[in-house]
Amino acid sequence: MTTEFKVLGPLEVWHDGVQVPLPSGRAKALLAALLLRDNEVLSADALVDRVWDGAPPNPSRARATLHMTVTRLRQALGPANVVHTTGGGYRAVVPGGALDLHRFRSHVAGGRFAEALELWRGEPLADVRSDALRPAVDALEEERLVALERRVDADLEAGKSAELVAELRTLVARHPLRERFWGQLMLALYRSGRQADALATYRTVAKLLSDELGVAPGEGLRDVHRTVLSGEGAAVPAVPGWPTPRQLPPVTADFVGRDDVHRAVERALAPGIPLRAVPIAVVAGPPGSGKSALTVRIAHALSDRFPDGQLFVNLGDGTPEPRDPAELLVELLAAVGVPMTSVPDDVRARAAAFRSRLADKAVLLVLDGAADAEQVRHLLPGSPSCAVLISSRHLLTGLEGVTTLRLRPLDADDGLDLLTRMTGSDRVAADPDAARRIVAATGGLPLALRIVGARLATRPNLPLRALAARLSDEHRRLDELATADMEVRASFELSYAALDDGVATAFRRLGFLGALDFASWVVSVLTGGDGDRLVERLLEANLLEEVGVDATGEPRYRLHDLLASYATELVSTEDDVHLRHCLDALLRLADAAQAGVPLGIDTTPLERLHVDVPELSDSAVARLTSRPEAWLVAEHRQLTRAVEACAARGWVKPALHLLELVGHLDTGAVVPIERMAHLSALIRNSAREAGDPALRWRAEYYRLAHVARASMSEEVVAQHRACAEGLEASGDHVYLAAHLASWAYYQSILDDEPAVHLAERAVAVARESGPVTMYLSALREHASMLAWAGRMDEARPLFDEAVALARGISRPVEAAVQHRVSVYALRHGDLDRATAASQRSLELIEEAGDLRGLAYVLSHASRVRSASGDHDTAVTFAERAYRIFAELSEGLGSAIAAANLADSYLAAGRAAAAERLLTEAIPAHRGMGATEALERMAATLDRAREMLEPS
């Protein structure tokens, strides 16, 4: 007997070739929900949400009704029933190959796109009505379109260009904003000898994108256009090319034992049968048990089964602050070819983007040193063609469906084998009893054995019996080696004592970094020596581990967490001069990186630094910082740790320089605003203790600039006032002008009235302070406040002056000014000017890749579109802006976007959507100081409820 379940179209169940009649309504929604998450347990509460599409009419009866629905569904399915009750919920246990979605994904993974698409019978779950299932349905539709794109690619490569033209014209008509289909159509026309038609198609899509979204065609379409113009071979615009990452560190040459664990992991990750879920294996064990070496070895052995690449990420378990999944996803997205400008800010959005990139790939992901299940969960791919291998000190019991293998200490024979490989068979054979006593003293921990082995390898004349006696002298600590750090630390001391002076110095000074990863240039700067050679020596001594390649292409290394703790203990105050030298190197690199980044309108002038770092040649600096965003991704943890170290030591000025450079480089995707505010506060406190008022108030200016983005209050206003007084007293007019302009903006949001006097004062100070960006920032705020106050005749020439100045600085600066022109033109009923300025600002900010600026521009653009009667686009813009602000945790911007989105919903006749949004948004944004936005939300909520009342 065979049973088939079909979700790629109307929901159908077939048993032995006969279609099974399904009950309509809740039972059908229940089956759909379970099939979309087959073999996963869904709780009763989760199913209630899906089956009732939100809150049930009678929540107290929901579970009982759900049980009745399950019973009814099982009866209807009869012998085809796959619905099972489990603890706390239900699941559908679907046999392999019985669900059309599984077959579709299997065909796609195998490159059989035409076969995959033949399984589709229309809109997925077309006869199941549930808004709660809509995101899953939309995701399925996206999978179909990606498969369709890839099938067209294959047909184009097969020379079927002419035959594809008609189909592609239909596709661009159905999906007019999907640029990839347009590019394929251009390519099909061009390869069919219709170059003129291909160019006309480009003009059509360029106008469409401009009219509908106010944006230019993407880089992929522009590349095809240039190629068609040149008459050369064309390529289809696509998502960034797949880079086939090969990030695995090298295999440890003298690895021994663990064959049983190795075989078990191979069976779990590559079983050789079709899978419905991503296979995951966890190798768990205590510190020093060899988890990383084993996982790397297994990963290399499996690499031929994952032809699309192997990713390797160090998660930082054992450090004081295990690495944030959001930060890790930036590195993973960079490794799979996603441009930094396309990286979302929210961790969930990044995770979704990562899963999308791996959707049809066969990639092995190695996660080394997981702190807990939550750290891992966001990093997991979604395609069963991929696999995940995790090492951790913990069992990660919170992860479902994993195979967990626990590492035990090496037995005596394997331990002796490892020691023999490291020291030589002749040496062990000469004194086997001493060798066994050494193995026993290390407790069978591979890390401890490697350290002892390295010690013996560097001392060929040291008798094994002598070393065994030394270990016996520390017998009390060695007995606890498997459960405490003390004996491992004793082994570290033995290894450290065997190093020559240069290598020992490198190891000790790496204690400044703790367990952070680093590139070899750091070792050069810390020691004044050959960083590459010293790294090689430390690797040979097993005191360093390779952790892959960073976003700039540099190999990265780190001390094991226990070794890092030991190295930190060795650092002395005399070494601080070398820490300062490393800080100078970071300043030199950060200065070079930021030099190529255009100034923003509110960017304070950055002093160009001329730091002499002999260990970093000009060519090395240019190579490392050729891609500023990639350099920031690679080194941001070093940078923020350096700021903390400087602040702790009273090195205020270099700390502030670093903070300014990081702030200029970062657009919010790497260092969160809360972290920037915290670092600013550390510098402020350090400057206050050092008696340096000028730097104290500069640091406070930066802190308030970040704090105000999240929320405003009377307390924050008082802090702004104190900062202005401090800057004025210290004679720092440049920062005073910047601070007054910022204060005027946020004060007006809090009070819901224009802060004309503050903006006017900012202009007066900025006019005398010199930098044009500060004057422009103040001028924009002054014009805005005047316009807000109804004095548009006075504001208009100031806006014109600001636009003219902005065009001579940068695109992001002009975008900011055009945005403000549009805001106040709309307030005063000048729709033509508001529309033109809004479209210009959106075009400029999209090109610049400024996520925060884009959110503000989109939020306002929604109001302009709504005023023009284009309510659908208004809703699209407002939803996107609201989502970005939520991801950035920028409370004031989020409040404004929520108000705009609610207005857009109402204008589009979607009163229920407006009510749902505002019911959540109003309480969520209280206390943030967004007075005007909250008043608008309250008024819109009243109107929405009036529209919803029965007539």
Query: Is the separation of the CB atoms in 179 and 220 below 8 Å?
Result: yes
d(CA 845, CA 159) in angstroms, rounded, equals 39
Rounded to 10 deg, the angle between the 464-473 and 446-458 helix axes is 130
Distance from CA of residue 118 to its chain's centroid? 35
Length of the chain: 951
**CATH fit for domain 259-406, picks 3.30.450.20, 3.30.360.10, 3.40.50.300, 3.90.420.10:** 3.40.50.300
Return the closest-CA partner of residue 824 out of 815, 814, 834. Answer: 834
Judge contact between 362 and 307, C-beta under 8 A: yes
Question: Domain spanning 159-230 has what CATH number?
Answer: 1.25.40.10
- E strand or H helix at 58: none
Please state which architecture CATH assigns to domain 3-138.
Answer: Orthogonal Bundle (1.10)
- List the structure tokens of 680: 């600013």
Contact present, 723 and 700 (Cβ < 8 Å): yes
* Per-residue confidence (pLDDT) for residue 615, from 0 to 100: 85
Per the CB < 8 A criterion, the answer to whether 820 and 783 are in contact is: yes
- What phi and psi, each to the nearest 5 degrees, are found at residue 4? -125, 140
Amino acid in position 707: V
* pLDDT at residue 320, as a whole number: 54
At 390 the pLDDT is 92
Q: Among positive and negative, which fits the CA dihedral 322, 325, 331, 336?
A: positive
Burial class (CB in 10 A: 0-12, 13-18, 19+), 946: exposed
Q: Give residue for tokens 């008609």.
A: 166
Three-state SS for 576-638 is HHHHHHHHHHHHHHHHHHHCCCCCCCCCCCCCCCCCCCCCCCHHHHHHHCCCHHHHHHHHHHH
| DSSP code of residue 21 | P
Domain ranges for the chain, please list them.
3-138, 159-230, 259-406, 412-498, 818-951
- Residues in Cβ contact with 61 at an 8 Å cutoff, skipping those fewer than 6 apart: none
Please work out, in degrees rounded to the nearest 5, the angle formed at the alpha carbon of residue 790 by the alpha carbons of 789 and 792: 115
pLDDT tens figures, 145-194: 888 888 888 888 878 888 888 888 888 888 888 888 888 888 888 888 88
What is 818-951's CATH number? 1.25.40.10
The residue with tokens 């819109």 is 940
Q: Give every residue of the chain whose pLDDT is below 50, as ranges.
A: 55, 235-239, 474-487
Report the candidate in 191, 178, 180, 179 with the shortest Cα–Cα distance to residue 227: 191
How many helical (H) and strand (E) elements, i.e. helices and strands, does the chain have? 44, 13
Contacts 24+ apart (CB under 8 A), 764-767: 765/733, 765/736, 765/737, 765/740, 766/737, 766/738, 766/741
**How far is the C-alpha of 594 from the C-alpha of 589, rounded, in Å?**
9
Cβ proximity of 31 and 73 under 8 Å: yes
Q: What is the pLDDT of residue 60?
A: 54
Distance CA(466)–CA(460), nearest Å, equals: 12
Q: Do domains 159-230 and 818-951 have the same CATH topology?
A: yes
